[in-house]
């Protein structure tokens, strides 16, 4: 079974209730059969978005804690996201790895918590520009996959997003060959480790926009995209969904 196509939007720390009007437009004009759509708004909007979209798109959080509850001010448990209507959680985004010093081990713990709460973990990996320039990209991705993806990962509960740090929000993208090389490596590593590793969806993320989406989606083992800036407006995200 080939992985299902997924267009995932990461709103980051953007959006208020008023922004959900963009989703109304997305629902009316831009959903494509055969392609799942996931929007991960700020946690404040998860419940409202899920209630508004009634399962027509998937809704996700942008992080979760590894513990189920307790004295962790400001954090959110996976079960709380699930309770609010989320089905997914982005984990190990490079902004969290950088801003909050998240390690592979912590990301793995969060992914286990997400799975235990019934959420699909969208686990992000990606090299910095310095690592790419030093020729370390494949080693970095291999190590992040080994360290961040838990043994309980399956094609049903896990999606991997390759997001080169230097391509996020910069307007720069790797060459098609560079994306193909990393996605082939990820497919090999996951297939070697998991019984259904060949079916785990692999997303590319980093400055995806309407103008480059079709070309990126044609690359082998690219099953969709994790989109930041261009997911905020239906007029941008809609054509990306259509390109899948």
Please tell me whether residue 208 binds ligand PEP under the rule CB under 6 A: yes
Please tell me whether residue 179 binds ligand PEP under the rule CB under 6 A: no
Please tell me whether residue 92 binds ligand PEP under the rule CB under 6 A: no
Cβ neighbour number for residue 188 with a 10 Å cutoff? 14
Say which of 88, 115, 163, 221 is annotated catalytic: 163
Which residue is at the shortest CB distance from ligand PEP?
Answer: 228
Give the nearer residue to ligand PEP in terms of CB position, either 114 or 230. 230
Distance CA 183, CA 43 (A): 30
Indicate the Cα dihedral angle 61, 171, 158, 114, nearest 10°: -20
Q: Is 229 labelled a binding residue? A: yes
Please tell me whether residue 3 binds ligand PEP under the rule CB under 6 A: no
Rounded to 5 degrees, what angle do the CA atoms 209, 55, 155 make? 70
Identify which range of 56-64, 109-117, 183-191, 224-232 contacts ligand PEP by CB under 6 A: 224-232
Q: Which of 228, 236, 240, 241 touches ligand PEP by CB under 6 A?
A: 228
Smallest CA-to-CA distance from 20 within 42, 40, 48, 44 is with: 48
Contact 160, 203 (CB under 8 A): yes
C-alpha distances in angstroms, 183 versus 83, 101, 138?
33, 25, 10
Q: Which residues are annotated as a binding site?
A: 10-12, 169, 207, 228-229
Catalytic residues: 93, 163
Residue numbers at the binding site for ligand PEP (CB under 6 A)? 10, 163, 168-169, 205-208, 226-230
Q: Which residues are annotated as a binding site for substrate?
A: 10-12, 169, 207, 228-229
């Amino acid at each position: 079974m080939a992985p299902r196509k997924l267009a995932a939007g990461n709103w980051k720390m953007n959006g208020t209730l008023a922004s959900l009007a963009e989703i109304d437009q997305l629902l009316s004009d831009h959903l494509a059969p055969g392609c799942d759509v996931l929007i991960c708004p700020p946690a404040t909007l998860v419940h409202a978005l899920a209630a508004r979209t009634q399962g027509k798109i998937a809704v996700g959080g942008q992080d979760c804690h590894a513990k189920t509850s307790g004295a962790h001010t400001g954090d959110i448990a996976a079960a709380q996201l699930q309770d609010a209507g989320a089905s997914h959680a982005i984990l190990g985004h490079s902004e969290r790895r950088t801003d909050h010093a998240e390690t592979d081990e912590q990301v793995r713990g969060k992914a286990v918590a997400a799975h235990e709460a019934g959420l699909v973990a969208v686990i992000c990996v990606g090299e910095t520009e310095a690592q790419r320039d030093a020729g370390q990209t494949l080693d970095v991705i291999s190590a992040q996959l080994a360290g961040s993806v838990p043994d309980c990962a399956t094609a049903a509960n896990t999606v991997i997003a390759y997001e080169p740090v230097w391509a996020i929000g910069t307007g720069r993208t790797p060459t098609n060959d560079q994306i193909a090389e990393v996605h082939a490596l990820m497919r090999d590593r996951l297939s070697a480790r998991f019984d259904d590793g060949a079916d785990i969806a692999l997303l590319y993320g980093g400055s995806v926009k309407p103008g480059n989406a079709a070309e990126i989606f044609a690359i082998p083992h690219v099953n969709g995209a994790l989109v930041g800036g261009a997911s905020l407006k239906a007029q941008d995200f809609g054509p990306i969904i259509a390109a899948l």
